[in-house]
Structure 1
Amino acid sequence: MRRRTLLAGALAAAPLAAGCSSGDGASEAASARGRTTLSYGIWDVAQAPGMQRIIKAFERENPEISVEIQLTPWTSYWTTLRTSMRGGTAPDVFWMNAVNIQLYAANGALEPLSEHIARDRTPLGRHPEALVDIYAYEGRQYGLPKDFDTIGLWYNKALFDKAGITYPDSSWTWDDVRDAARELTNPRTRVYGIAAEMDRQAKFYPTVFGAGGYVLRDGRSGFADQRSVEGLRFWTDLVDRGWSPPQSAMSEVRARNLFLSEQVAMNYDISAMASFMYGTPAIKDHGGVAVLPKGRERATVIHGLANVVSAKSRKKQAAWKFVDFMARREAAEIQAEGGVTISSYEGTQDAWLKSMPEFGLRCFIDMLDYAFPYPSSRNTAVWEDQEYLLLGAPFSGKGGIEQAARTLAQQMDRALDEEGK
C-alpha cells in the first residue's frame, strides 16, 4: 500500500529509540543545567488557548520542563509530521486520531506507554473504554485520550415550529426522521428536511451500527452485510425522495453549513461542532440536539484525540510526564472549561455542558452507553478513500446502493489483505 510505504520510508530514515530511557541520556543530561523544552504538535487553533492553560498548569507542577506548542493546520498536519519524522524534528508529543494510530504504531513511530501507565498508575479507567481501545495496538497502549465526541441529531426549532412538528427526543426512530424530513422539506423556500451528506463519522458509520451491521470486524469488511446496506439505504432514500440535497449539491458546501444557514432543518453532527453552532446567532437562539434516532438498535460513534509520544523523542521522560498530566483530572477540567470539546475524563464534562446551556448537550454524554469505536485498521485511509469513490453515486441520487456496498466490501477486503503482507 502506497500510504504505508511512504510512512515506513520516513521512519526508516533514522533509527528508532526503544525504551523509556533509551535516547534520553545525552539530551536530558545536557538540559540538566536548565529546563527541558518539549515540543507539542496540535492542529486545532480553537483548542490552542485551552492547551496553553494546561501547559501553564503542568509547568507550575514541573518547573524543570517547559512546553512549546507547534500548531499545524489540519490540511498539512500529517504531511508535515511525516516530513519531520524523516528529518528527525518531529514533536516530542503530538495529537493522534483513530485513522492513523495503527499505522504509526505498527511502523514504530510511537513510544509504547503501557509500562509507564502501570508504573505511574495513570487513571486510564476514567476515560471511556471504547475510546481507550482505539489507541491500543497489539496489546499495548500507545495513546492517552484527551477528549471525545459522539454524534447527535441537531435540529432547528424555528423550522420545526413552522411545520408544526414536535422536536426530536429519545423516543425517535428512523421512521420519525423520515416522516419529519418529508414534512419539513419545502421546495418553494429551498429548505430540506435533513442533509444526507456522505460523512462517514457523522452519518453512515453510526447508522450502519444502528442497523445492526458493521464496518470492520476481524479484519474483514462489513459493507456487504445486508444490515449495513440497510443503514446506508436510510440515507440514500432521503436523497432519492428529495428530502435531502443530493451529494452533488454539497460538493463545495458542507451539510453543516447548510444547517447553520437554515437551509436544512436536521443534521447529524459531532459534539465538537457545538461551539460553532453556538457562535451562529440563529442556531444559538433556536437550535437543539437529541440522541440519534433508533434503527434496529441504538448506536452512535465515539471518536476523540489522544496524546502520543514520539519514538524518536530524546526527551521521553519529560514527554511522558506531560502526557500523563494531560490524562488526569486537573488538565481535563481546564480543557472542559474552554467549551471547545468534551473532556474524556469521567466526571469533568459539566463545565462543557454549562458553557452552552441553550442546547441541552447532555445527550452526547448519555450516548456513551451505546457508542461504537470509530472503525480503523493499520491502513484505514486506504479503504476509507474507496468509500467516497464507490458510494458517491448512490448518495447523489443515482441509486444502486446495494451493488456499490458489495463492490466497496470487495475493494476494502483487498486493502485489508494487503495490510497483512
Structure 2
Amino acid sequence: MKKFVLFITILMLLLLAACSGDEETSANEESTIKYGYWDKNQEDMLKSLVEEFNKDNPNINITLELTPYDQYFTKLDAAATGGGLPDIFWMNGPNFVKYASNDMIEPIDEKISNDDLDTAPYPEGLLGLYQYDKKTYALPKDYDTIGLWYNKTLFDNAGLDYPDDSWKWEDLVEASKVLTDPEEDVYGIAASIQDPQASYFNTIMANGGYVISEDKKDSGFDDPNTIEGIQKYHDLIHEHEVSPTHEQMETTDATSMFESGKVAMMFQASYMIPQFKNNEYTNENVDVAVLPEMNKRSNVIHGLGNVIASNSENKDAAWEFVKFLSSEKAANIQAEAGIIPAYEGTQDAWVDATPNFNLQAFLDMANKSEPYPVSKDTSKWSAIIQDNLAKAWSGQQTVEEASEIINEEMEEILANE
C-alpha cells in the first residue's frame, strides 16, 4: 500500500512538472504581430520603435503593414468581414465608434487594470475619444493640432513681417494680397478643402460655429457663425483671389504647391512635420505660427490610438506592444521623429528635436483646441459635407446653398444613429 501511494505521489509530481514546463514554453513561444498603419512618413520611426521593443521582447516579431490613408479603412473594412484584420492597427476618431460598436476591436480595461497601468500621463480628451459604452479600446499614440505654415523667403521678398500671435483674420487676408503674384504664378495662401481637419473645420470653430453639437444630435450647418466661417475661407478664392482655384488644387494638391514655393501660406497639421523636415525646400524656407484669430483663436485637436483586433490570435503579445507604443520611451522616440507624443512631459523633447521650426505654435494651439467632430456614422455625413463644399468651392453653388443641403441631410443621418 505504501509503495502504491509513493508511486501515485511521484506520478503526480511528474505530471505537475510537465504542466509547469508546458506553461513556461508557451510563455516564451515566438509570435508574430501584424501592425497596420497609413503614414509612410512615420515608417522609419516605427521601425525604430520595433527595434527598441524587441530588446526586451525578442520573442515577439512585429510585421509592419503600410496602407495609404485613402485605401486604409476600405481595406480594414474588407479585412474585418473576412476575419483578417492586423493584430494591432491605427485608429482615428471618425472611424472608432463603428469598429467598437461592431465588436471588431478589443476592450482593454481589464488589461489596464491587471497591469496597474497609469493612464494619467495621457490627455483625458484623447482617452475619452477612444471610449465607447463605458469601455476603453485604445491608448493614445500621439495628437496633432493645426498651425499656419508660411514661406519665410516669400515673406522676406515681399518685405512683410512673419505671422505671429497678434494676427487677426484680416491680417492674413491683407498679407495674402501682397504675397500673391500672378505673373510668377505664386499665391498668398491655399484655401484647400482636401483635409477638413486642416482647413474649414478651423475657420468654423474660430468664427464661433460648430460642426456637430456636443450631444451628437444636431448639425451646426444652420448656425450663422458656421456658415460665415466657411464663407471667409471660401472668399480667399472667389472674392480676394489670393488662393489657387479648387480645380488647380485638384490637379496639384496644395501641399505640393507649398513645397515648391508656389504658395506662401497654408493651414496644415503637425503631422506634416516629418514631410516638411525631409523636403529640402521646406526644411530651409518655411516656418509655422499659430492660426490667426477670428471671433476667437481655435483649431481641431485629434490623436491616433493603437487598437487590438478582437479576432487576433495573439492578444497577449499584441497588448505588450500596445503598452510599449504608449510608453514614455516610445513617446521620446516619436518626439525625435517630429510627432507630438500623447505622453505628458515628453513634448519638450519634440520641440527641441526640430529647432528650425517653431513647433511651440502647435502646443500653443493645443490650449485653444476643440475635439475633432465625430459621431457613430461620421463617414456618412462627412462625405456629404465634402461633396457639397466641393461644389461651392468650384462655383456650382453658394456657401449658403451648400450649408442648407448639408444641414438637412446631416440632421437626417444623426436622427437615425
Q: What TM-score, normalized by structure 2, do the two folds share?
A: 0.88
Query: Which of residues 374, 377, 380 is equivalent to 2:375?
Result: 377
- What letter corresponds to residue 333 of structure 1 in structure 2? N
Distance 1:362 1:166, change over 3 A: same
2:188 paired with 1:193: yes
Per the alignment, residue 142 of structure 1 pairs with: 137
Instruction: For 1:401-416, list aligned pairs within 5 A.
Output: 401-416=399-414
CA distance in 2, matches of 1:214, 1:29: 55
2:165 paired with 1:167: no
Instruction: For 1:92-103, list aligned pairs within 5 A.
Output: 92-103=87-98
Contact in 1 for aligned 2:41/2:274 (Cα 8 Å) = no
Contact in 1 for aligned 2:41/2:275 (Cα 8 Å) = no
Q: CA deviation at 1:139?
A: 2.3
- What SS does structure 2 have at the residue aligned with 1:221? coil
- What letter corresponds to residue 231 of structure 1 in structure 2? G
- What letter corresponds to residue 120 of structure 2 in structure 1? G
Instruction: For 1:168-317, list aligned pairs within 5 A.
Output: 168-198=163-193, 199-217=195-213, 218=215, 219-241=217-239, 242-317=241-316
1:145-193 residue CA offsets vs partner (Å, 9 max, x unmatched): 1111111001111211222221100111111111111222222222111
CA distance in 2, matches of 1:125, 1:370: 21
1:290-337 residue CA offsets vs partner (Å, 9 max, x unmatched): 011111112111122110011111222222222122111011112222
Q: CA deviation at 1:354?
A: 2.8
Distance 1:394 1:319, change over 3 A: same
Query: Which of residues 388, 391, 398 is equivalent to 1:390?
Result: 388
2:67 paired with 1:72: yes
CA distance in 2, matches of 1:382, 1:43: 21
1:194-246 residue CA offsets vs partner (Å, 9 max, x unmatched): 11111311011111111111111122111111111111011111111211122
RMSD of the TM alignment (CA)?
2.0
**Unaligned ranges ≥5, structure 2:** 1-22
- What SS does structure 2 have at the residue aligned with 1:372? strand
Contact in 2 for aligned 1:192/1:265 (Cα 8 Å) = yes
- What SS does structure 2 have at the residue aligned with 1:407? helix
- What letter corresponds to residue 133 of structure 1 in structure 2? G
Per the alignment, residue 16 of structure 1 pairs with: none
CA distance in 1, matches of 2:392, 2:65: 41
- What letter corresponds to residue 84 of structure 2 in structure 1? T
Distance 1:30 1:107, change over 3 A: farther
- What SS does structure 1 have at the residue aligned with 2:32? strand
Which structure's CA Rg is the greater one?
A: 2
CA distance in 2, matches of 1:240, 1:56: 51
1:35-85 residue CA offsets vs partner (Å, 9 max, x unmatched): 232222222233222222222332332344332222333333223222322
Per the alignment, residue 107 of structure 2 pairs with: 112
Contact in 1 for aligned 2:274/2:337 (Cα 8 Å) = no
Residues paired across the two proteins, number: 391
Per the alignment, residue 85 of structure 2 pairs with: 90
Structure 1 ranges of 4+ moved more than 6 A: none
- What SS does structure 2 have at the residue aligned with 1:124? coil
- The more displaced of 355-364 and 128-137 is 128-137
Contact in 2 for aligned 1:90/1:310 (Cα 8 Å) = yes
- What SS does structure 2 have at the residue aligned with 1:48? helix
Per the alignment, residue 51 of structure 1 pairs with: 46
Distance 1:342 1:111, change over 3 A: same
Residue identity over aligned pairs, in percent, reads 41
CA distance in 2, matches of 1:123, 1:264: 45
Q: What TM-score, normalized by structure 1, do the two folds share?
A: 0.87
2:147 paired with 1:155: no
- What letter corresponds to residue 97 of structure 2 in structure 1? Q
Distance 1:30 1:400, change over 3 A: farther
- What SS does structure 2 have at the residue aligned with 1:38? strand
- What letter corresponds to residue 277 of structure 1 in structure 2? F
2:59 paired with 1:60: no
CA distance in 1, matches of 2:208, 2:118: 32
1:5-34 residue CA offsets vs partner (Å, 9 max, x unmatched): xxxxxxxxxxxxxxxxxxxxxxx9995462
Contact in 2 for aligned 1:246/1:397 (Cα 8 Å) = no
CA distance in 2, matches of 1:30, 1:100: 38
Distance 1:56 1:162, change over 3 A: closer
Distance 1:37 1:278, change over 3 A: closer
Contact in 2 for aligned 1:302/1:373 (Cα 8 Å) = yes
CA distance in 2, matches of 1:42, 1:29: 32
- What letter corresponds to residue 223 of structure 1 in structure 2? F
- What letter corresponds to residue 186 of structure 2 in structure 1? V
- What SS does structure 2 have at the residue aligned with 1:125? coil
Contact in 1 for aligned 2:147/2:361 (Cα 8 Å) = yes
- What letter corresponds to residue 146 of structure 2 in structure 1? I
CA distance in 1, matches of 2:317, 2:50: 13
- What SS does structure 1 have at the residue aligned with 2:85? coil
Per the alignment, residue 18 of structure 2 pairs with: none
Q: CA deviation at 1:398?
A: 5.4
- What SS does structure 1 have at the residue aligned with 2:188? strand
Distance 1:56 1:155, change over 3 A: same
